[in-house]
Amino acid sequence: MRLFAKAAALTMLGILAVASPAGAQQAEMPKLTLGVGGKTLLYYLPLTIAERNGYFKDEGLTVTINDFGGGAKSLQALIGSSVDVVTGAYEHTIRMQAKGQSIVSVIELGRYPGIVLAVRKERADTYKTIADLKGAKIGVTAPGSSTNFFVDFLLAKNGLKPQDVSFVGVGGGLSAVAQMTHGQIDAISNLDPVITKLESDGAITVLADSRTEEGNARIFGGTNPAAVLYMKSDFVAANPVTTQKLVNAFYRALKWLHAATPEDVARVVPEDYLLGDRALYVAAVKASKPTYSVTGIVSDAGMKNALGMLTAFDPELAGAAIDLARTFDGRFVARATEATK
């Protein structure tokens, strides 16, 4: 509690010190390192847009991006201080609070997870429902990542435990597609463009889809925040101008995405994101476009849904006193929004 109180007090002092627009001030840390777990995934598209459109540079920042095999690995890098900030799943801020680590998100990038759970077409007769998955080998981007939590929650909803299945880290690119199509896994929990590629190949049968408002309502009962920009609370306190500049860049990326067509996106991202098929990538962007945040704000309802998801399968969280207000600091988004009016 003392750690949280100290961090909150320092953060307030730092933000009060930023009285003038961040763009007019020098960042405390103009060069920094950002961790991400699967940058090519559409889950993290706002990061690529901010990078490729030069929004970080416009804010006077040099951002080195370290791409890890999954969100759990980028979180580990943050805790180990090998990266300064992370674009990753919001639920990590909740889980780390339960472990006594003060991690805070400062802008929502995804309002829906966009994660899909599907079984290999050849095993669809065996695994007709989520409740049938006992004993299945399920591919996730990385154990302990949001794709893993998604399955854990669905299993719990259907009377199973995480220990009833085997999880395999498959990443978020062509390796994931190959392991699914070659029968190395029975099911997959992943994101676009991997899912759209597997769908277009007729390789999967979908059991749960969180890319749409309707899908999220069925799964979670409403919105569930997905990708966010998060960091240690101490970083926010020590670097309020830098934090504001990062949020400004991501907010611009969200606004750009809101107005852009899937074809616009395909023209901006690196060629290797397209998986050798531009039309397929465009279709994947179209399928995932509703998942991106419009406001950059993690809603109270979304926070509660995320906590409810985690407590459904994590005994440590079920007994923890979680203060959701400490998981999201919306003041930087508010300032970025005001600056664009």
Answer yes or no: do 185 and 260 share one domain.
Answer: no
Tokens of 161: 């435990």
* CA distances in angstroms from 157 to 142, 154, 209, 311, listed in the order given: 22, 5, 15, 11
310 occurs within a structural domain:
yes
Paired sense of beta strands 166-169 and 137-140, if any: parallel
pLDDT at 223: 87
Residue 252 has pLDDT above 80, yes or no: yes
Domain-terminating residue out of 179, 209, 239: 209
Kindly state the percentage of the chain with pLDDT values over 70. Answer: 93
Structure tokens at 186: 């029975």
Helices marked H in the chain: 2-17, 45-52, 55-58, 71-79, 91-98, 146-157, 174-181, 194-200, 213-220, 233-238, 240-259, 262-268, 278-288, 300-311, 315-318, 331-339
Q: Buried b vs exposed e over 117-156: b needs ≥16 C-beta within 10 Å?
A: bbbbeebeeebeebebbeebbbbbbbebbbbbbbbbbbbb
Average pLDDT over every residue of 89-101:
94
Structure tokens at 235: 């970083």
203 and 272 share one domain = no
Over range 46-58, report the average pLDDT. Answer: 98
How many residues are present in the chain?
341
Rg of the chain in Å (alpha carbons)? 19
State yes or no: pLDDT of 258 exceeds 70.
Answer: yes
Percent of the chain at pLDDT > 90 equals 83
pLDDT in tens, 3-41: 444 444 444 444 433 434 555 799 999 999 999 998 999
What CATH number does residue 169 fall under?
3.40.190.10
At 312, list the tokens: 């459904």
Q: Strand 31-36 and strand 62-67: pairing? A: parallel
pLDDT band, very low/low/confident/very high, at 67 (cuts 50, 70, 90): very high
Beta bridge partners of 205: 119
What pLDDT was estimated at residue 90? 96
Both 81 and 173 in one domain: the answer is no
* pLDDT value at residue 11: 44
Domain shared by 141 and 287, yes or no: no
Q: What is the pLDDT of residue 93?
A: 97
The residue range of the domain holding 196 is 116-209
* Mean confidence (pLDDT) of the chain: 91
Q: How many CB atoms lie within 10 A of CB 247?
A: 25
Q: What is the pLDDT of residue 23?
A: 58
Task: For residue 254, give the amino acid letter.
Answer: L
Which pLDDT does position 5 carry in this prediction? 46
How far are the Cα atoms of 100, 323, 328 from residue 2, in angstroms, in the given order? 11, 14, 18
Residue 302 pLDDT? 93
**Do 334 and 229 fall into the same domain?**
yes
Claim to verify: residue 241 and residue 195 sit in the same structural domain: no
pLDDT at position 21 is 52
Question: Mean pLDDT throughout 118-129?
Answer: 96
Q: Is 70 in the same domain as 137?
A: no
Assess if residue 218 is contained within a domain: no
Within a 10 A sphere around the Cβ of 82, how many other Cβ atoms? Answer: 12
Residues 44 and 69 in one domain: yes
Contacts of 159 (CB under 8 A, 6+ apart): 131
Among residues 209, 234, 259, the one where a domain terminates is 209
Q: Is there a domain that residue 73 lies in?
A: yes
* Residues 170-227: tens digit of each pLDDT: 988 889 999 999 999 999 999 999 999 999 999 999 999 999 999 999 999 888 999 9
3-state secondary structure at position 114: coil
If one counts the domains in the chain, the total is: 2
pLDDT at 137 over 90: yes
Residue 218 has what pLDDT?
A: 93
Whether 255 and 176 map to the same domain: the answer is: no
Q: How far is CA 108 from the centre of its chain?
A: 9
**180 and 40 inside one domain:** no
- Across the range 128-140, mean pLDDT stands at 97
pLDDT bin (cut points 50, 70, 90) of residue 1 is: very low
Checking if the pLDDT of 330 tops 70, the result is yes
Instruction: Determine the pLDDT at residue 155.
Output: 97
Indicate whether 215 belongs to any domain.
no
Q: How many CB atoms lie within 10 A of CB 94?
A: 25
Q: Quick one: 132 and 195 in the same domain?
A: yes
Report the candidate in 261, 119, 257, 254 with the shortest Cα–Cα distance to residue 190: 119
Mean pLDDT on 131-138: 97
Q: Among 150, 183, 209, which residue terminates a domain?
A: 209
Q: Are residues 235 and 328 in the same domain?
A: yes
